[in-house]
Chain A
């Protein structure tokens, strides 16, 4: 397939996934606010930290409040990763490769974008969890449409790589920031508040029920393991990385090149590293350091994709 098309599909998919994750962050926080009559923990500040763009936020908005975090993460057209900016970019990318997508896929993304854009005014005035819930539905629909209306050929594998790299990154970020915020409050350990906080964390990755079925009780180690090392839960870091690896293998196979690309080598070694670590080690070495390194490696894999596939070799 065309290198340009592969790259646009990859970004389209990443951007839509990013938009979905931001909706998830806001939605669970809006829910949490309702259960937490007094703000024991500021729920909005961590959302800004998740993005890593705190400085930009502070300069434009100052203090993190419900109103301006919603604007920032969801509707700010000046912010490069707001939901609306991401969906706009995803749709522009989709438009430029429309012939490579199924009709249903394009129409769903088109509807998704229009839905968010048309809601911005009312949601800026009075954000509701219901709206963000609808965003999540749109996102799930989008994922489902992609998976069930397109051949799982090279184009699909590129979009799968895009969405899973983004998802792994976001899952690790939310764990990082929340963990940092939640852990120091040792007084709360085992209390209803603690329980609520961790549940919220799991809800953000749709993992609450899956976790409960396996472990019943909230336990920090088990939750961290669920986020990082769960083999089959579709939003755990390990599952995402395994998915990226398998899609990259397919891409290598389909493109029939003799030499192995850098990206596939890097993702394989990352997967092996994860396989050989455990929660104890992660916590002992510092969760933040661990996740920091993970994110650097994920970015690096993204860069290798450009080298491997998006700039085609010049000779025939």
Chain B
């Protein structure tokens, strides 16, 4: 007994000074400024692209100095060893997808890259303001377009572009969700070009996924880079699940005082199932499938061991079309029959509201800057990528004449499907897309090929530049109460030269470190210290 006791004492004695040091470093930024020469990433090519970690001379950007200096100090192969260690722990945590659906199917983790992407406090301030503005405008647009349609009457968006969008749900006309919030949870895709300018590439307002990877990536990175993590003054992301839960409670039907919240998943075979289960676990709520729910008298119940229990708020991760076979797709076995009746009767909140998809239609996207001006009377903080709408004759002609330099996208597709990257296409592919555009112009848009920014990424045993994007997550509980998670999912196109970051197309992810401004809370690399939820 005696030895065990003294070991425990020694351990707790050791911990104390570490904690003190951390709390004192939270207060002032100047302590961590490096004094020596700026560290340089050797044997690395920025290749004419904007690099997130180093400048054109391979010198570390100000907030990346600690990281680059650590890379230079690490013994050879150590970075690779940590990459493998992280992959192992992701595997152990079961954050995997099955490659073949048969019984012997090998399982793989979502590809993860050990080199974090660092976002400076100043850049983040700009992104944060821009996203809040955008969500405020998009939410007003959704309220408007399903009710008064002022933006159409003002001649800013043609009515036929809206009515022809597959995501526009006639069934939702005249609806007013609680708190006037339609898009409770958004994951907006941002990219940077060769000047470092941040653009909004896509608004994802349906069921954006990936936030669980943000949280898990952070979890494993903190374990593997505790020193540099503390020194880099990274803002925490771990309160996301509490914020999400609070949001879901805030938007419950007003007559409910202690709402029952659930997460609705299509089931274990869905590729984002891990995330659904993770979020439910973190919020401490039930994860339900359609078959667990039943609607009686316009009320939603779940089947429990003690009989039926009322459900007030559903964070649904099922697409609109599958939500309710009675209202939408008749063949849906994932949804709940009568759910839309309960929703219309005001007895349940659905987050996001059905019908939000209209606002991330790729054609409607082109009008978001106009929405910001119209609803908020402000200039957009974050620009759109210039977009040609093939439905408009002038744009269409331009697109058809410049196919070899544009990126052409199907308006109704996502996940990196239905895309032609002109600069990397063959004549036959371009002809095929030209034919499709002429046949159904409403379904196509085009954008110039951006020279996407890159970030150092592990390739075999060394670092090479790979293109990245960034998906921050935004929670909106009232039209003017918008919160942006300081961080987000940095997706990286692992294949050399590839511009497609989607995980279905060979993309991986990185941890995203948003640097704190003076006075902002900093994440602790000690798991227990500021993170009672993280084990």
Q: Which residues of A come within 8 Å of B, CB atoms?
A: 1-6, 77, 88, 92, 95-100, 103-104, 106-107, 110-111, 114, 154, 251, 254-257, 309-316
Q: List 14 A-B contacts (CB under 8 A).
A: A3-B303, A4-B292, A92-B268, A95-B268, A98-B274, A98-B281, A99-B278, A110-B94, A255-B307, A311-B303, A312-B305, A312-B307, A315-B296, A316-B299
B535 contacts across to A, CB distance below 8 A: 103-104
- Is A314 within 8 A of B281, CB to CB? no
How far, in whole Å, are A312 and B304 apart by their CA atoms in the complex? 6
**In the assembled complex, how far is the CB of residue A85 from the closest CB belonging to chain B, in whole angstroms?**
8
| Given A2-B286, A2-B288, CB of A316 within 8 Å of CB of B308 | yes
Asked if B93 CB lies within 8 Å of chain A CBs, one says: yes
How far, in whole Å, are A316 and B309 apart by their CA atoms in the complex? 7
A110 contacts across to B, CB distance below 8 A: 92-94
Contact of B281 among A92, A99, A257, A310 (CB under 8 A): A99
Q: Select from chain A the residue with minimum beta-carbon distance to B96.
A: A110
| Given A95-B94, A99-B287, A316-B296, CB of A255 within 8 Å of CB of B268 | no
**In the assembled complex, how far is the CB of residue A146 from the closest CB belonging to chain B, in whole angstroms?**
15
Asked if B497 CB lies within 8 Å of chain A CBs, one says: no
**In the assembled complex, how far is the CB of residue A141 from the closest CB belonging to chain B, in whole angstroms?**
14
Q: Select from chain A the residue with minimum beta-carbon distance to B103.
A: A77
Given A4-B303, A99-B280, 16 further pairs, Cβ under 8 A: A2-B302, A2-B303, A3-B304, A77-B103, A88-B103, A92-B268, A99-B281, A99-B286, A103-B281, A107-B93, A257-B306, A309-B305, A310-B305, A314-B308, A315-B307, A316-B308
| Given A95-B268, A110-B94, A255-B305, CB of A4 within 8 Å of CB of B291 | yes
- Is B305 within 8 A of A111, CB to CB? no
A311 contacts across to B, CB distance below 8 A: 303
B273 contacts across to A, CB distance below 8 A: 95
- Is B94 within 8 A of A251, CB to CB? no
How far, in whole Å, are A313 and B308 apart by their CA atoms in the complex? 7
Summarize A's interface: helix, strand, loop or mixed.
helix
Asked if B178 CB lies within 8 Å of chain A CBs, one says: no
Q: Which residues of B come within 8 Å of A, CB atoms?
A: 91-94, 103-104, 263, 267-268, 273-274, 277-278, 280-281, 285-289, 291-292, 294, 296, 299, 301-308, 310, 535
Contact of B305 among A1, A100, A103, A104 (CB under 8 A): A1
Number of cross-chain contacts by CB at 8 Å: 91
Q: Select from chain A the residue with minimum beta-carbon distance to B535.
A: A103
- Is B268 within 8 A of A96, CB to CB? yes
How far, in whole Å, are A272 and B336 apart by their CA atoms in the complex? 45
**In the assembled complex, how far is the CB of residue A262 from the closest CB belonging to chain B, in whole angstroms?**
14
**In the assembled complex, how far is the CB of residue B311 from the closest CB belonging to chain A, in whole angstroms?**
11
Contact of A107 among B94, B263, B299, B303 (CB under 8 A): B94
B310 contacts across to A, CB distance below 8 A: 316
B307 contacts across to A, CB distance below 8 A: 255, 257, 312-313, 315-316
Q: Select from chain A the residue with minimum beta-carbon distance to B107.
A: A114
Summarize B's interface: helix, strand, loop or mixed.
mixed
**In the assembled complex, how far is the CB of residue B292 from the closest CB belonging to chain A, in whole angstroms?**
5
Residue of A98, A114, A309, A313 contacting most chain B CB atoms (<10 Å): A98
Q: Select from chain B the residue with minimum beta-carbon distance to A94.
A: B94
Residue of B93, B285, B304 contacting most chain A CB atoms (<10 Å): B304
- Is B304 within 8 A of A2, CB to CB? yes
A256 contacts across to B, CB distance below 8 A: 306
A254 contacts across to B, CB distance below 8 A: 306
| Given A77-B103, A98-B281, A99-B280, CB of A154 within 8 Å of CB of B92 | no
How far, in whole Å, are A236 and B308 apart by their CA atoms in the complex? 37
Q: Select from chain A the residue with minimum beta-carbon distance to B289.
A: A4
B267 contacts across to A, CB distance below 8 A: 96
**In the assembled complex, how far is the CB of residue A230 from the closest CB belonging to chain B, in whole angstroms?**
31
A251 contacts across to B, CB distance below 8 A: 305
**In the assembled complex, how far is the CB of residue A158 from the closest CB belonging to chain B, in whole angstroms?**
8
B294 contacts across to A, CB distance below 8 A: 314
| Given A77-B103, A103-B535, CB of A154 within 8 Å of CB of B94 | no
- Is B104 within 8 A of A77, CB to CB? yes
How far, in whole Å, are A1 and B288 apart by their CA atoms in the complex? 11
| Given A92-B268, A99-B281, A107-B93, CB of A6 within 8 Å of CB of B305 | yes
